[in-house]
Structure 1
Amino acid sequence: MSVRTPAPPPPSLTRWERRTEIPLLAAALVFLAGYAFRVLAPYDAEPWHDLSLALVGAAWLLFVLDYAVRLRLSGLGLRFVRVRWLDTLVLALPLLRPLRMVQVYTAVQEKRDRPRLGLYARVISYAGMTAVLLGFSAALSVYHWEHRAPGASIRTFGDAVWWACATLTTVGYGDAVPVTAMGRVIAAGLMACGLALLGAVTGAFSSWLIQVFRREDEKEPPAGG
């Protein structure tokens, strides 16, 4: 039984993605900064709350425009929603946009027959950056939903950061736990992402070590020669 390989994306879509990579990264950072200000700033910090809301809205509109262009250039029609499910997910939940970096791990898997050490190093660095951004985003969201909830153990943003670190690394001390429904949904998503990121880093690092040891073995003279 033959395995059907996915068709490569159209050249126009590839060019668009390359051109918009840096602007969309900047928009994602603007979105994150605006959301962080709205969550952490005092309630009477006007007009900065309105300005941060405008920045968040403008960044999200850029994400919508980019998604619409990708959909049109892909030639997939509505199948784009299912085939490019990660793009759809980060459009609906922009704070998950760091997850797009995990796609780099797929590129490593596709090039196993021609491993490149630089690519492995990039996977590890991208996964580390993704973990930091994802943990910060989760801490913001959990703090937003939890700090005023009755019986909450996450009262400060420091508590939220500590909870995010423990959850993302799958340690789970249990001293700070969400009590709201939305907080638990965020926790479940962060645990799943933590497992995925740890798997990506472990797999890339193991492949890099195997490649190094294989090259060292090839340099050694044969025994008894």
Structure 2
Amino acid sequence: MDDTGRAARWEDRTELPLAVASLVYLAAYAIRVLAPGLAPVWRDLCLAVLLAAWALFAVDYAVRWRLSGHGPGFVRTHGLDTLVLLLPLLRPLRIVRVYDAVQRRHGRPRLPLYGRVMVYAGLATGLVGFAGALAVYHQERGAPGATMRTFGDAVWWTCSTLATVGYGDIAPVTPLGRLIAVAMMACGLALLGTVTGSFSSWLIQRFARGNEERPPGR
């Protein structure tokens, strides 16, 4: 079997376990952020889970790099994978690969194309939004002059940012918090554009089909 076949086989076998690992990573990070008064032993356990999950992500990245046969070019052609390795909280953006892996095992997709796109965008928005709220709250809580005092404030800010509304009542004040804000704005624009474009394309297709099925002269 050539390198391409081995790489595809590796991804089929590891995508679902890695998806579970990413959810465990997110849960451990959420516990560390939302439960600051947790006993040291539990905080250390959460840290160990975070490091173990990241180690799995790094091993997967290294194996796929090796099987690709592209050498340093793998980093350029797999920009999202590289970004996710550096920022594991963005792993929800890889959810489309999990869906592809499931479909390859079960055969024909259960949802039409537009439905799959909208479901993916919805899941990615929810997971990335939750991760972003955790990350920005982690940076902002207790900062001098911070307006984001609770996790509820962080969730409200995340929703308004992803929706590209930006009321301005709550805004990050720390450098890392503002960097996270820029990333959330980019994700919001990309995901909102995906949903809007897919829905518009579906409407055009439906109207075009209706015109084709209409009897002549009517």
TM-score by length of 1: 0.86
Distance 1:191 1:42 in 2: 28
Q: Which residue of 2 aligns with 1:193?
A: 187
Say how many residue pairs are matched.
205
1:183 aligned to 177, 180, 183, which one?
177
SS of equivalent to 1:31: helix
Distance 1:69 1:155 in 2: 42
SS of equivalent to 2:171: coil
Q: Which residue of 2 aligns with 1:75?
A: 69
Distance 2:55 2:158 in 1: 28
Q: Does 1:36 align with 2:58?
A: no
Q: Does 1:204 align with 2:198?
A: yes
Q: Which residue of 1 aligns with 2:157?
A: 163
SS of equivalent to 1:138: helix
Q: Which residue of 2 aligns with 1:126?
A: 120
Distance 1:94 1:125 in 2: 22
SS of equivalent to 1:10: helix
**Moved segments of 4+, more than 4 Å:** none
Amino acid at match of 1:212: R
SS of equivalent to 1:47: helix
Displacement of 1:218: 2.3
2:139 aligned to 125, 145, 159, which one?
145
RMSD value over aligned CA atoms? Answer: 1.9
Structure 1: gaps (5+ residues):
1-8, 105-115
Displacement of 1:44: 4.1
Q: Does 1:84 align with 2:78?
A: yes
Displacement of 1:101: 3.8
| Contact map agreement 2:133 2:151 (CA 8 A) in 1 | yes
Amino acid at match of 2:93: L
TM-score by length of 2: 0.88
| Contact map agreement 2:15 2:97 (CA 8 A) in 1 | no
SS of equivalent to 2:215: coil
Displacement of 1:11: 2.6
Sequence identity (%): 64
Q: Which residue of 1 aligns with 2:16?
A: 22
Amino acid at match of 1:93: L
Amino acid at match of 1:53: L
SS of equivalent to 1:76: coil
SS of equivalent to 2:146: coil
Q: Which residue of 2 aligns with 1:213?
A: 207
Displacement of 1:215: 2.2
Superposition map of 1:60-71 within 5 A: 60-71=54-65
Structure 2: gaps (5+ residues):
99-109
SS of equivalent to 2:40: coil
Q: Does 1:174 align with 2:168?
A: yes
